[in-house]
Chain A
Amino acid sequence: MRLGRTLAAALMFCGLGFAGPAFSETTVRIAWYSDGNEGEVLLDLLKRFEASNSDIKVVVDQMPFKAINETLPVQVASGQGPDIARVVDLGGMSRYTLDLRPYLKDPAYWEKNFGPFLTWMRPDGDTQSIPGFMTQLTVTGPFVNKTLFEQAGIAMPGAKATWDDWAKATKAVADKVGAPFPIAIDRSGHRVFGMVISQGGKVFNDKGEPAVTDAGFKATSQKLYDWHKSGVMSRELWGSVSGATYRGANDEFKNGQVVLYMSGSWQIAQFDKTVGNAFDWVAVPNPCGPGGCTGMPGGAGLIAIKTTKDPKAVGRVMDYLAGEDVLREFYGRTLFVPGHLGLSAKGVDYPAASPLAREALTVFTKGVADVAPLAYQVQAYRYNRPMFTAVISRLGQAVSGETSLDEAYKRIDADIAQQIAERKK
């Protein structure tokens, strides 16, 4: 009897030993940030992936947006980064990306559906690689607290209204209802460039090099400066932090303190969830200027990192997440504008969206058509981050009263030149 048990145990042990490789798991780490519910949706989708791919375990590290921008690049550069990351600085991260082509089932599907956005992710001079896909396409644009307009009894400016029209109307509303922020604009260089292009800014010279502080830029800067002086914009947002620190006004908007909030399509899910019935909010087309009515395109891409130890597993995870059905569900549940051309053409259903959110999504989707080619060029420019940071840092100083606008222009040009030269060393 005892001998029998010993033999059985030995056989089980051997069996486990032989079966071992079948149970060995590859771990794929994803660094992820969330604006809304996309982290939850991703985890849900990955559970299904793991159920049918028992040899791959996917660990999602949910990180703050600040850490994605500041910590992740250093982590990745040191070779200690994740296998996959969701990032917005696509140009800056391009040197760390893995070309997924050898590991994908059908690279042609990727080219067909993500083609235009792949150029944003590719390193300099590379026209072929497939580093990842867009988890969302974004367009910057304003949200308006409609209830405040109704309470003030003032009509909202129409579709082709200018920034000056909005400044006048929002100030009147804020004065009447006692709202502290007539216009709030995210403290981000990216947001400013949409306005700059609308005001006729050319951003680049004939050689394609940055020449930011032209007449269009100065017109925009002057407006922003004057608005801070006249109270159309509160210094609480741009003036209360230093450098290129990002400062959004989503909390203030959700609290009903902002009349017009210039941000972008990624806020829709958040507002849909958190504003609830507190007030009516709408997305409106980007205000117009001599250069058009453009916002800035952008978005977050999910990129594969080249230091991964298991590119095959990374390829399988990416193939799954970029699949049309998976992305349809992802975009639909997160209320994101699709970054998949096939789905853009077919349209995505947003079953969980409220009527307000649906309307906002429609406005932003239409807004894509108004995005100026120059805005895409700025977004695709490898060194756009030094431009964004220099602009917001120096304009921040000017609106705080620390420097004059003329001094800010000189500093912006010098900062951009110095930072690009440093990166090119």
Chain B
Amino acid sequence: MAVDTPHAATGRPMDRPDIWGVVVRLTDGPMRAVQRVLGERRMPYVFLLPNLAFFTLFVFVPLGLNLWYSLTGGAALFPSQRPYVGLSQYSFLFDCGSVLDASTCREDHFWRGVHNTLFFVVIQVTLMVLFSLVTALVLNRPIRGRGFFRAVYFFPVLLSPVVVALIWKWILQRDGVLNAAVTMLGGQKIIFFVDPSWAMFWAIFVSIWAHMGFYTLILLAGLQAIPRDLYEAAAIDGTRPMRVLLRITLPLLWPNMIVVIVLALIRGVQTFDEVFVLTGGGPGTATLMVVQYIYETAFANQSQNFGLAAAASVVLGVVLFVLTLLQLGFSRRKAGA
């Protein structure tokens, strides 16, 4: 047996040949041949090709199909059977007296979804970033049971959104735990999901509860990366805690905050599963989000209006694209800083 075969990755001699060494030896010849034909500069694209093929198949092709569907009408499923209708699905979506008042729009459900999503995103992201920051600041201090609390805050992140929503639905329903507690204390049962304000409140609350741990973790990592000597210098100078927070912690945490804000924004705009299971979009359309609108227009209610749903997803896609560009921009700025 050859005992001096070098390791594929490290180049160090190995005691026995491993599977990767065999693979490298087998592919070495063909890859050299490819490199001879294409040249060294084009070789990276060969390595990117498998991933690019998957990406094309599962992202670009569906994107293109979605765009095509948004330009077609009818109830047929196959693109070839669907008549081309130009931009009429978009003009139907945007046929409004004023987009600020959903009731003046022909497709009022879409605009109610847009307004609800905007409201949800603004409130949920603001509160979530705030709570995540406070929690991260607390968990960054040498408190007793810190590891336990870190786990407790992160645990909901591990749960499936449907499970989260069902747990809270059971807590909040007419005969749920919360109402049992309310009646035990002498209060009246509250039917939370028939009141638009309560329904939106709980949708936001549950969403924050479920996702806060993830953002707390990012901020905690940022806090731990701040050099300790800055705090020591501040302590020697007798700087007040609030001033330390405002002048040292927050400025140095800002790049992480940006990442958290943009990620939370993207996640907020995409909200569907938790709210759908928790409130079903009701009462009326009080918690109907854009993604639920798209789902229901295409698949639920047997309406199968794929064209309109596709047009709405293109609009949503544009919003998400802008948010993603923002995140990329901030990430690059952070990397360059």
Instruction: Name A's B-contacting residues (CB within 8 A).
Output: 69-71, 73-74, 77-78, 89, 92, 180, 234-236, 239-245, 247, 385-386, 389, 393, 396-397, 400-403, 407, 411, 414, 419, 422-423, 425
Contacts and interface: CB of A to CB of B under 8 A. Distances in A.
B284 A242 contact: yes
A393 B107 CA distance: 13
Given A73-B304, A422-B303, 13 more contacts: A69-B302, A74-B299, A78-B78, A242-B281, A243-B285, A393-B301, A400-B194, A400-B282, A400-B284, A414-B106, A419-B305, A422-B305, A425-B73
B121 to A, nearest CB: 19
A239 B299 contact: no
A425 B85 contact: yes
A234 to B, nearest CB: 8
Contacts of B281: 241-243, 245
A407 B103 contact: yes
Contacts of A243: 109, 281, 285, 288, 296, 300-301
B302 A92 contact: yes
Nearest to A247: B280
Contacts, number: 116
Interface of B: 73-78, 83, 85, 103, 106, 108-109, 174, 191, 193-194, 196, 279-288, 292, 296, 299-305, 307-308
A386 B300 CA distance: 12
Nearest to B85: A425
B293 to A, nearest CB: 8
B133 to A, nearest CB: 33
15 contacts: A69-B302, A70-B300, A70-B301, A77-B77, A92-B302, A235-B191, A235-B283, A242-B279, A242-B284, A244-B296, A386-B303, A389-B302, A396-B282, A400-B194, A422-B74
A243 B191 CA distance: 20
Contacts of A397: 284-285
Pairs of residues from A and B, 3 with the lowest C-beta to C-beta distance, nearest first: A241-B280, A400-B284, A242-B281
A297 to B, nearest CB: 19
Contacts of A411: 108
A247 B193 CA distance: 14
B284 A401 contact: yes
B174 to A, nearest CB: 7
A425 to B, nearest CB: 4
A71 B305 CA distance: 14
Contact of B279 (A69, A71, A241, A386): A241
A241 B283 CA distance: 5
Query: Chain B at the A interface: mostly helix, strand, loop or mixed?
Result: loop
A256 B284 CA distance: 26
A393 B285 CA distance: 9
B303 A400 contact: no
A425 B284 contact: no
B299 A402 contact: no
Nearest to B175: A255
B192 to A, nearest CB: 9
B75 A422 contact: yes
A390 B302 CA distance: 11
Contacts of B193: 236, 240
Nearest to B303: A419
Contacts of A393: 301
Contact of B284 (A386, A396, A419): A396
Contacts of A239: 194, 282-284
A247 B304 CA distance: 20
A402 B284 contact: yes
Most A CB atoms within 10 A — which of B85, B300, B305?
B300
A108 B76 CA distance: 33
Nearest to B107: A418
B299 A244 contact: no
Contact of A400 (B76, B83, B286, B302): B286
B194 A240 contact: yes
Contacts of A69: 300, 302
Contacts of B106: 414
Contacts of A236: 174, 191, 193-194
Contacts of B103: 403, 407
A240 B282 contact: yes
A389 B301 contact: yes
Nearest to B106: A414
A235 B194 CA distance: 6
Contacts of B75: 422-423, 425
B32 to A, nearest CB: 44
Contact of B288 (A70, A235, A242, A407): A242
A77 B76 contact: yes
Contacts of A70: 299-302
